[in-house]
Structure 1
Amino acid sequence: MAVKKPKPYEIGELDQYLFGQGNHYEIYKKLGAHKAKKGKKEGVYFAVWAPHARSVSVVGDFNEWNMEANPMERAEPLGIYTCFIPDVKEYDLYKFCVETYQGEFVFKADPFGNYAELRPGTASRVADLTKITWTDNVWLENRKTWKHTEQPMSIYEAHIGSWKRHPGREDDGFYNYREFAKECVNYLKDMGYTHVELIGIAEHPFDGSWGYQVIGYFAPTSRYGTPEDFAWMVNYFHRNKIGVILDWVPAHFPRDIHGLADFDGTPTYEYADPKKGEHPDWGTKIFDYGKNEVRNFLISNALFWVEQFHVDGLRVDAVASMLYLDYGKQDGQWVANKYGGNKNLEAIDFFKHLNSVVLGRNPGALMIAEESTAWPKVTGSVEDDGLGFSLKWNMGWMHDFTEYMKLDPYFRKDHHYQMTFAMSYAHSENYILVLSHDEVVHLKCSMLNKMPGLGFDKYANLKVGYAFMMGHAGKKLLFMGQEFAQLREWSEERELDWFLLAEDEHRQVQNWVRDLLHLYKRNKAMYEMDDSWDGFEWINADDASRSIFSFVRHSRGKKKNLLFVCNFTPMARDDYRVGVPRKKQYKLIMNSDDEQYGGKGEERPEIYKAVKKECDGRPFSFAYKLPPYGVAIFEF
């Protein structure tokens, strides 16, 4: 007997089978709320997974929130509830009314909903993603052959709600997605960034969580507009040749009653055992990575952002908290794995599956791990027992760099290794060097106010630090506001202090960062061999007594190379001699002493000829007048 073929929007037997196996990668097209037509009636088809519920109904604007008006039909064996409701309109509010096995009724937002009521409201909204139009096909075609290991990546980490705001408005004054896109694109093109990384996009109830406690995994936050507005923003970035990365949070979710927690009256999405299913420090729930349907929920969500909304990459938050069963827990608060260890074997398998599928289906897309431990092969291939990520945040470099930069220059000679250590492991993973939002909150100070000294010293310290970061191996990420030396710590409650750009010192730091970013983007030596020792060469990594670092970045074939000299003390070196690889001419292309960067503007030669004089273990060298906190970048 022939099996009845389900309509495109309906849940069929094959859908249930694949979802139960954890392999229904487009389940978001079936679960949730989707515009549909039954006979001649137009309406919405609703579907939700609630395996232990006694019953589920849909309540909303269209039925006056009546629990009995639109009961859903249960499909076995998974416990997926469905119903078609005619005449439901786009943007109508709705929730699922779930009757638990104890006979209680809870009202839940749609786990697969594409749009949400603006907080403090907690309902979902019907949205039709099929009407979204895209014009970024050239970008997507080029992405298929784009290789992150060989291309520049300078990432501007941004939070839309606090980037800029409209003054004097009674509401929050947020820029909407379209307004943000237009202004931010102009800014990023001027500054020389290649990508924007957005935090706080998936729907979340509390502004102060910065989007790291998600309720609506499939919904761009309504704070800044509709899903269509969000798509317009991504499309606009792509049309202007800027990649879009989103923060993604598969590690945990909040306990809010309308969210995923105890969804059907039982631990549905989270581990049932509190020792596995709760973060004591964060007060959040941990996804059950051993449950096929939960893994499917997360993997299909990653694919949703990349394939439906054309996002170029996901930065995966709190990877370490997923890999270790005892992360943030005391003895007695966690359960060992079957071998008696602290590794979450189910999370490891999840990452391998996730990265294989997302990157296998989407060549050129990125999966980026925020992983803070020495876990091996985070960016190693799954076939070689790696986790399969494209890139990893280099948290070790960030820690060493910021600790060194905080020091009074007098004491830096005793901590010289903190700036050289990262190069000893720089090629063990594909790294991004990050100075993220986490480094400028919770009394950690802004980047500028981490710097020692007063006045000139603070700004000069920051500029030499940024130059070292840009020259070091690895992709780059800088949180918004730090490129112009924001004074205050970041707060999601206000816009950045753009007024500071009226002051010379802040404008000069911005000029410095802008020119470093453009230098990075136009010189292959800065990025095309990031994953090889052939791309980086220390000239002198051991000049601790003077706290000076010199190194070369090589392009493939060494056709065009850059020499960096960075002085981390206020001591001028009027005849600083640097060893060089070859007897060539060295052209000064960036000099921190230029007036546009806040220097004295002293005239100096543009070309320096290496002579046969040993220095730094090299047969050739040349001398240069290196100012206090001076940076000199030469091309040869």
Structure 2
Amino acid sequence: MSDKLKILERDPWLEPFEGDLKFRINEFERTKRRLLGNNLELSLIEFAEGYKYFGFHQEDESWVYREWAPNPAITNVYLVGDFNDWNGIQHELKSHKSGVWELRVLGKMPLGSRVKVQLIVNSASLWRVPTYANYVEQQPDLSFAQVLYQPTYKFKHTEPKITEAPLIYEAHIGISTEEYRINSYAEFTRDVLPRIKADGYNTIQLMAIQEHPLYSSFGYQVSNFYAASSRFGKPDDLMALIDQAHGLGLRVLLDVVHSHAVKNVGEGLNLFDGTTRQFFHDGVRGEHPTWNTKLFNYGKDEVIHFLLSNLKFWLDVYRFDGFRFDGVTSMLYRDHGLGTSFDAYVKYFSMNTDIEAVSYLMMATELVHNYRSDAICIAEDMSAMPGMALPISEGGIGFDYRLSMGVPDYWIKQLKTKTDDQLDLMRLWWELTTRRPGEKNIGYAESHDQALVGDKTLMFRLADAEMYWSMDIQSSSIAIDRAMALHKMIRLITFSLAGEGYLNFMGNEFGHPEWLDFPRPGNGDSYQHARRQWSLSTNPELRFQYLLAFDNSMIQLEHDYKFLEEVSRLEQKWIQNSDKILAYQKGNLLFAYNFHPRDSKSMIFEFSSVELILDSDDTKFGGFGPRNDFKFEGGKLEIKLASRTAMVFKLK
């Protein structure tokens, strides 16, 4: 390690915390040495192979099942299932060192059988789903059981090598049908993948893949970390989905949940061997106070092994192209960042920081990048921890991107609490362009979070009830005109400024109405809001088609001009709060906006040559053009923009 960390050169305000930054690197290295021992040839890639040892495997003439259950009070462990009439006396596991139990049986694995593991603890029977289960189904009593399953799918396509900025389409398999039901992997592959490709996105982020008992948890209360959710189909179906996406040139990221686990006993990891401490912290530290879930002990070698192996499993077996790590803020701090205002550097390096979790995240990003150098790691961290998206060698934690989580919150606050006249363009600029030095962000105006029950999609927040009556092309509505115009402007300015990549949640590209709500007792188990109304965007009588056309053209800008990673250039005279006009240059593109709610505005610039490439007021985008105009003479560009419109120029 060099004397001076590069992160300090990027951000001199971190100088007083140099010792803290070096401490987290030392802890990372110390933990790695502890895990790998003195074997310098062993790497994290080789270490993270728990899925090849534990669980069920066919080995030559025998099949073997191994489980880690270290509770010393366990006297017997049996494999039970429908293949032995749920009586495991003939299938007892033998105890090995370090709490590992093993069963070896001659012959072929009884594929298709439903099985559980029975642990005898102090004469009591504990019935559990094996921890490395790769396929789990609910039984009639709503408990889970592993179905012995070996995927047979043969991948046909190699992972795409994408060099442009990530343009991410956040998707949930279950709600991706317009029908009142849960959709499948196969139907998503057939119906939704072509939409994503046609819309210009190059990366898919799949949510709720890891098995979870409660559908309405949106996949964030995981029970079986190695099992692809059986609600949507078989493991082979998910493999086929990813393979087909690769064939279309699309990357696929997994929304991975390593920040917590479901409390359910019998289905997941909680009290698996009869103790809390097997995977989680004991006592209060092992309980999330608001999520009502269990919290991992990241300082325990076996837990690190389980979680790192899980990451490699999804990369290796399913060929995912990286991860969006959920709940990173909760992992970083002992108080999980709840109620903390991260307004001073000291709050990132106090006793509140969970250094064991930080070390785990560093090992996770190193493993992913060592196994797949082109894999992407994105952190969902609302605290803006310094170095989150910087290489470990520079003093960072190793993620490639962090989510610009403050941006959608800003838009919601603006639309809920302020009038259009109160839009502060200087504040907007600061929100969209402020980054940790050297760190890349994924910008977005809204994700699934902003549409969950109790909230609204951006378009529905803008239009509200008028959306039900005036989205047809024949209706005249001032409310809808405003909503359409601002929806386009908000997405364009966020897309171009808020990150070096961009994210959109499924359906929001065409202004999906209302909110998200999964079937549950509180809504009569209704699927009304747990589906995507694709037909809205293809109905020629409705205005949703215009928002989709605009989103397509906006996304195409990055394909054509590769500007997202370019530094923004701004002259202060290009921001005029009183007139609500704003302009900036990204790469060789000029973006100009008039946010004024009533009046047309003009701007003058000096360039050698320009070409208009996008006008939000174009009639193909549901605008009222031609209203906007520009004149270019003698190296001087004069732009006239109607109220709530934007134009993009190519600078030659």
Which position in structure 1 is the counterpart of 2:169? Answer: 156
2:597 and 2:175 mapped to 1: Cα distance? Answer: 35
What one-letter code is carried by the residue in structure 1 that aligns with 2:394? D
CA displacement 1:129-156 (0-9 Å, x = unmatched): 3x3311122x35x3xxx55xxx221111
2:184 to 176, 186, 194: 176
Which position in structure 2 is the counterpart of 1:107? Answer: 127
Alpha-carbon offset, residue 185 of structure 1: 2.0
1:497 to 533, 538, 543: 533
Gaps of 5+ in 1: 1-13, 332-336, 555-560, 613-620
2:483 to 458, 462, 467: 458
Which position in structure 2 is the counterpart of 1:342? Answer: 352
Which position in structure 2 is the counterpart of 1:6? Answer: none
1:416 and 1:404 mapped to 2: Cα distance? Answer: 13
CA displacement 1:199-253 (0-9 Å, x = unmatched): 1001111101111111111111111111111111100000010110110000110
1:522 and 1:415 mapped to 2: Cα distance? Answer: 28
What one-letter code is carried by the residue in structure 2 that aligns with 1:445? K
Are residues 1:569 and 2:596 paired?
A: yes
Alpha-carbon offset, residue 31 of structure 1: 0.5
2:552 to 492, 503, 514: 514
2:628 and 2:482 mapped to 1: Cα distance? Answer: 22
2:428 and 2:78 mapped to 1: Cα distance? Answer: 59
Alpha-carbon offset, residue 296 of structure 1: 0.7
- Aligned partners of 1:400 and 1:419 also within 8 Å: no
When residues 570 and 353 of structure 1 are mapped into structure 2, their CA distance, relative to the original with a 3 A threshold, is same
- CA-atom RMSD in angstroms: 2.7
SS at match of 1:590: strand
Are residues 1:45 and 2:64 paired?
A: yes
Which position in structure 2 is the counterpart of 1:205? Answer: 213
What one-letter code is carried by the residue in structure 1 that aligns with 2:149? A
What one-letter code is carried by the residue in structure 1 that aligns with 2:199? M
> What is the TM-score with the length of structure 2 in the denominator?
0.83
Matches within 5 A, 1:11-26: 24-26=47-49
Which position in structure 1 is the counterpart of 2:637? Answer: 622
Matches within 5 A, 1:511-590: 511-524=549-562, 526-527=563-564, 529-530=565-566, 533=567, 536-537=569-570, 540=573, 542-554=575-587, 561-573=588-600, 576-580=602-606, 582=607, 584-590=608-614
2:214 and 2:396 mapped to 1: Cα distance? Answer: 35
1:185 to 177, 188, 193: 193
What one-letter code is carried by the residue in structure 2 that aligns with 1:568? F
- Aligned partners of 1:585 and 1:608 also within 8 Å: no
Alpha-carbon offset, residue 439 of structure 1: 0.9
Are residues 1:597 and 2:630 paired?
A: no
Matches within 5 A, 1:32-431: 32-38=55-61, 44-52=63-71, 53-84=74-105, 86-100=107-121, 102-118=122-138, 120-129=142-151, 131-137=152-158, 139=159, 142=161, 151-166=164-179, 172=181, 174-258=182-266, 259-327=268-336, 341-406=351-416, 408-414=418-424, 416-425=426-435, 427-431=437-441
Moved more, 491-500 or 210-219: 491-500
Which position in structure 2 is the counterpart of 1:558? Answer: none
- Aligned partners of 2:420 and 2:597 also within 8 Å: no
- Aligned partners of 1:203 and 1:214 also within 8 Å: yes
Equivalent pairs counted in the alignment come to 574
CA displacement 1:494-535 (0-9 Å, x = unmatched): 3112343324321111111111111222212x23x34xx3x5
What one-letter code is carried by the residue in structure 1 that aligns with 2:171? A
- Aligned partners of 1:246 and 1:314 also within 8 Å: yes
Alpha-carbon offset, residue 475 of structure 1: 0.7
1:135 and 1:518 mapped to 2: Cα distance? Answer: 28
Alpha-carbon offset, residue 410 of structure 1: 4.0
SS at match of 1:82: strand
1:83 and 1:114 mapped to 2: Cα distance? Answer: 19
1:454 and 1:229 mapped to 2: Cα distance? Answer: 44
User: What percentage of residue pairs aligned between the two structures are identical?
Assistant: 26
Moved more, 445-454 or 390-399: 445-454
- Aligned partners of 1:152 and 1:475 also within 8 Å: yes
Which position in structure 2 is the counterpart of 1:28? Answer: 51
Alpha-carbon offset, residue 406 of structure 1: 4.3
CA displacement 1:276-317 (0-9 Å, x = unmatched): 111021111001101101001001101111122110111000
1:562 and 1:610 mapped to 2: Cα distance? Answer: 19
Alpha-carbon offset, residue 86 of structure 1: 4.1
2:300 and 2:115 mapped to 1: Cα distance? Answer: 27
CA displacement 1:14-34 (0-9 Å, x = unmatched): 999999x99721110110112
1:157 and 1:329 mapped to 2: Cα distance? Answer: 26
Alpha-carbon offset, residue 625 of structure 1: 2.4
